[in-house]
Amino acid sequence: MDQTIHPRLTLLSHPLVQHKLTIMRRRETPTGEFRALAREISMLMAYELTRDLPVEAVPIDTPLEPMMAPTIAGKKLCIVSILRAGDGIASGMLDLVPSARVGHVGLYRDPVTQRPVEYYLKLPDDVAERLVIVVDPMLATGHSAAAALSRLRAAGCANLRFACLLAAPEGLAVLAQAHPDVPVFTCAVDRALDEHAYIRPGLGDAGDRLFGTK
Ligand code: URA
């Protein structure tokens, strides 16, 4: 992977992820299948994102004898969804990590300044003590992702990751500049943004395709 675009970029190159992503990209893939695939890929992403979680041995009894067995140590995850399309990713991650807490950030683009403005924020009280995975299927301009990460830092979060299905080089450059220490996980880095800030070749509007609103 081209680490010159972002110093902490992980590309999920697993054939199953790539195959599912290709079906999602197809124009003719219907809403239900698109949503199910987003959920499946997100589950696989969560597997990769949590690969280095600390574990500790605890005493348990199997039906045959006592043993020390590994469990995840400490407070677990918080998934923070950037509304609204992030919810399509969060739901798949929750399939794998059902005890994770979930936060939401709502941002809209100011039509004059083009900068993201926060209109909604709800986070668990103990978010600063958790590994926080910020999710949005499309890293396009990167401004919403950068703003969400800044907001979480302001809330005291020190252990942050960002996950998306598709990234544009422009968005990765913005995150590399604003939050170079935050690892980014994506399934593909596409060619470029177009003049409407859509990722090309992309998969279209992820929110509309997830929720069937167009
Ligand atoms: N958001 C989307 O849903 N699609 C894009 O291509 C870019 C941003």
Whole-angstrom Cα distance, residue 95 to residue 36?
12
Domain tally, the chain:
1
User: What six digits make up the tokens of 58?
Assistant: 């605890």
> What residue ranges in the chain does DSSP mark as E strands?
9-11, 55-61, 66-72, 77-82, 101-109, 116-122, 131-135, 138-139, 160-167, 184-189, 192-193, 199-200
Q: What is the mean pLDDT of each run of 10 residues along the chain (214 residues)?
A: 83 97 98 98 97 95 98 90 97 95 94 87 96 98 96 97 98 97 98 95 97 94
Is 151 one of the annotated active-site residues of the chain? no
For position 111, what pLDDT does the model report? 80
26 is catalytic: no
- Tell me which residue has its CA closest to atom 7 in ligand 1: 198
The residue among 10, 22, 19 whose CA lies nearest residue 46 is 10
Q: Is residue 65 part of a domain?
A: no
pLDDT at residue 115, rounded to an integer: 84
Pairing of strands 77-82, 66-72: unpaired
In a domain, 176, yes or no: yes
**Annotated active-site residue in 27, 113, 125, 181:** 113
Residue type, 51: R
- Whether 145 is covered by a domain: the verdict is yes
Q: Is ligand 1 within 6 A of the CB of residue 193?
A: no
Whether 22 and 202 have beta carbons less than 8 Å apart is answered as no
Shortest-distance Cα residue to atom 3 of ligand 1: 205
Domain assignment present for residue 29? The answer is yes
3-class secondary-structure state, position 55: strand
Q: Is the CB of 198 under 6 A from ligand 1?
A: yes
Contact of 152 with 135, CB cutoff 8 Å: no
Q: d(Cα 190, Cα 57) in Å, to the nearest integer?
A: 42
In this structure, the residue with its CA closest to atom 4 of ligand 1 is 205
Pairing, β 184-189 against β 192-193: unpaired
* Per-residue pLDDT, 69: 98
Please check whether residue 20 lies inside any domain of the structure: yes
Q: Which residues contact 28 (CB under 8 A, 6 or more apart)?
A: none
**Is the Cβ atom of 163 under 6 angstroms away from ligand 1?**
no
Q: Look up 125 and say whether it is catalytic.
A: no
Residue 69 lies in a domain: no
Residue 179 belongs to domain spanning? 9-51+76-205
**Residue 125 backbone class (left: φ over 0; alpha: ψ -120 to 50; beta: rest):** alpha
Single pTM value for the model: 0.95
Is 68 part of any domain? no
Active-site residue among 8, 31, 84, 109?
109
What's the rounded Cα separation, in Å, for the pair 85 and 87? 5
Answer yes or no: is the C-beta of 206 below 6 A from any ligand 1 atom: yes
Rounded to whole angstroms, how far apart are CA atoms 146 and 130?
19
pLDDT of the residue at 76? 81
Residue identifier of the C-alpha nearest atom 2 of ligand 1 = 205
What is the reported pLDDT for 1?
55
**Residue 140 CB–ligand 1 contact under 6 Å:** yes
10 catalytically annotated:
no
Residue 62: inside a domain: no
CATH for 28: 3.40.50.2020
